[in-house]
Amino acid sequence: MEEKKENIQFLISEELIERVEHLVNSKNDKETIELLNEFHHADIAEILDELNLNQATYIFKLLDSEKTSDILLELDEDYREKILASLSIKEIAEEIEELDTDDATDIISELPEERQEGVIAQIEDDELVADIQELLNYDDDVAGGLMAKELVKVNENWTITQCVKEMRLQAENVTRVHSIYVVDDAEKLIGRLSLKDLLIASANAHISEVYIPKVDFVNVLDDVEEVAKVMQKYDLEAIPVVDDNHILLGRITIDDIVDVIKEEAEKDYQLAAGITQVVEADDSIIELTRARLPWLFLGLLGGIGAAYIMGGFEDMLKNHAILFFFTPLIAAMAGNVGVQSSAIIVQGLANDDVKGSINNRLFKEMLLATLNGVILAIFLFLFVWAWEGRPNIALAISLSLVIVIIVAGIIGTFIPLFLNKRGIDPAIATGPFITTSNDIFGILIYFWIAKIILNI
């Protein structure tokens, strides 16, 4: 009895990499193929990332294009670019022919323009060429730039028997059938077909008698983030794409939307950290500097502003040096509260959870900040009084904390809402922008209130 092969859970190790390197260096093609065929294409991509370019290219050319085309999609973008540069135009064309149209278009778009034309000229499938050329016309940030042309569609006038026959032919070119779309004679999307209804319907019945008119869809020029929201809201695995005339053009699947969500999350995270463009750890020093320097410069200006404000209260600091020791606390609390408030609003805007007027949001945040500020201020008042023994100093510091927290909460709420209204990514407001502005306001409010209470 043949022993059943268990699924291999991939775990990269030095021993595995050394074994692959040895097989490649010794040109042991048979064992190399046998070893790598045990792994998923995503695992092989991870192995190739650990090899030098010559070794990775050797393996890439050794395996069949049906497998390497999937590996290509899993490689890091920079490494994939190097692999593609080492392949001939004909070899790239062979890889492209194994991919769905959306993935094929993504790969071709990464090539230099002269190589794009050469690869397209080498592709033998005229329909694939036409689809790729159509998809290349769309920007990456619209639905057309994400959609694949492969789908299963049926005409409302077909009988069930004819429908099943046509579906079998179409399904050969579709990796996974999520939905069956129904179109009219003008190729306009009019609904979807339930597999259950298809199975129980009479063979002579027409699709028009059994299809479901209600179908979610997106326009080919819709922003990809809006597409992601629609698919997330209605829990869709795929969604059809239509043009302004409602003609069915293609479909977008959940795997592409996951990539969009991931990229947007990475961009927002970097914006929140004060990085103005999407960069990676392996990017050049110049690229990393360009991404980081603008916000660092803003932080420098904020620090200079804070120092200038403190300089205006020099006499007060000489007479009440203890105020100086609590300056970092006030600035830190202002920054922290501002970031907390803005993060909640930015998250709500991203998920479409922020509804109602700005005034209501600001009022709610003011109440929340007041409650938090009072609780923290009571503790701070008792601490300063016990330490310094002067209730007026304790009152000045603790009252400042309350007002600073309220102002920081309002700023942290208003700024992302304002930016969103102006069409600017509100994620900017969760980083150094909020922290720096609240530091300045916090220190100004702190010394101003202290001056009033202490009658200086």
Specify whether the CB–CB gap between 337 and 408 falls below 8 A. yes
Q: Rounded distance, CA 134 to CA 283, Å?
A: 32
Architecture per CATH, domain 14-141, reads as: Alpha Horseshoe (1.25)
Half-sphere exposure of 415 (CA within 13 A, CB side): 26
Count Cβ atoms within 10 A of the Cβ of residue 113 and give its class: 0-12 exposed, 13-18 middle, 19 or more buried: exposed
Domain ranges of the chain: 14-141, 152-258, 285-453
Is 159 in a helix, a strand, or coil? strand
With H, G, I as helix, E, B as strand and everything else as coil, classify residue 218.
strand
Virtual torsion, Cα 64, 66, 67, 69, nearest 10 deg: 110
Q: What is the mean pLDDT of each run of 10 residues along the chain (456 residues)?
A: 46 86 92 89 90 90 88 87 90 91 92 91 92 93 92 92 88 78 95 87 90 93 90 89 96 87 70 59 71 75 82 81 86 83 76 68 82 91 88 90 89 81 70 76 87 79
Whole-number Cα distances in Å, 101 to 186, 192, 222, 237, 362:
23, 22, 19, 18, 47
Separation CA 207–CA 186 (nearest Å): 16
The pLDDT score that the predictor gives to residue 455 is 74
What is the pLDDT at residue 456?
Answer: 58
CATH architecture of 152-258: Roll (3.10)
Instruction: Name, in order, each residue with C-beta under 8 angstroms of 173's C-beta and a sequence gap of 6 or more.
Output: 150
CB 82 within 8 A of CB 53: yes
In eight-state DSSP terms, residue 180 is E
Cα–Cα distance for residue pair 225/239, rounded to 1 Å: 14
| pLDDT value for 278 | 60
Query: Which tokens is 35 given?
Result: 């070893």
Q: CA-to-CA distance for 259 and 265, rounded, in angstroms?
A: 10
CATH number of 285-453: 1.10.357.20
What angle, 0 to 180 degrees and rounded to 10, lies between the N-to-C axes of helices 358-388 and 391-421? Answer: 160
User: End-to-end distance of the chain based on CA atoms, in angstroms?
Assistant: 95
